[in-house]
Amino acid sequence: GAGVSQTPSNKVTEKGKYVELRCDPISGHTALYWYRQSLGQGPEFLIYFQGTGAADDSGLPNDRFFAVRPEGSVSTLKIQRTERGDSAVYLCASSLIAGGMDTQYFGPGTRLTVL
Amino acid sequence: SQQGEEDPQALSIQEGENATMNCSYKTSINNLQWYRQNSGRGLVHLILIRSNEREKHSGRLRVTLDTSKKSSSLLITASRAADTASYFCATDKAGSYQLTFGKGTKLSVIP
Q: How big is the A-B interface in CB pairs under 8 Å?
A: 76
How high is the pLDDT of residue A101?
63
pLDDT in tens, B67-102: 999 999 999 999 999 999 999 999 987 777 788 999
Per-residue buried b or exposed e for B74-102, using 16+ beta carbons within 10 Å of the residue's own CB: bebeebeeebbbbbbbbbbbeebbbbbbb
Distance CA(B40)–CA(A108), nearest Å, equals 9
How high is the pLDDT of residue B40?
60
Confidence band (pLDDT; 50, 70, 90) for A18? very high
How high is the pLDDT of residue B7?
83
Residue A15 falls in which region: left (phi positive, over 0), alpha (psi -120 to 50) or beta: beta
How high is the pLDDT of residue B1?
47
How do A10-13 and A110-114 pair as beta strands? parallel
Mean pLDDT along residues A84-89 = 96
Substitution target in B24, B99, B100 with the highest count of A β-carbons within 10 Å is B99
* Chain A residues near any Cβ of chain B (below 8 Å): 4, 31, 33, 35, 37, 39-45, 48, 50, 55-56, 58-59, 89, 91, 93, 98-101, 103-109
How high is the pLDDT of residue B29?
87
Mean pLDDT along residues B45-53 = 93
Residue among B29, B20, B21, B22 nearest B68 (CA): B29
Nearest-Cα distance to chain B for A18, in Å, is: 23
Instruction: Answer yes or no: is pLDDT of B105 > 70.
Output: yes
Distance CA(B53)–CA(A101), nearest Å, equals 13
Confidence band (pLDDT; 50, 70, 90) for A98? low
How high is the pLDDT of residue B98?
85
B23: contact with A, CB 8 A cutoff: no
How high is the pLDDT of residue B3?
60
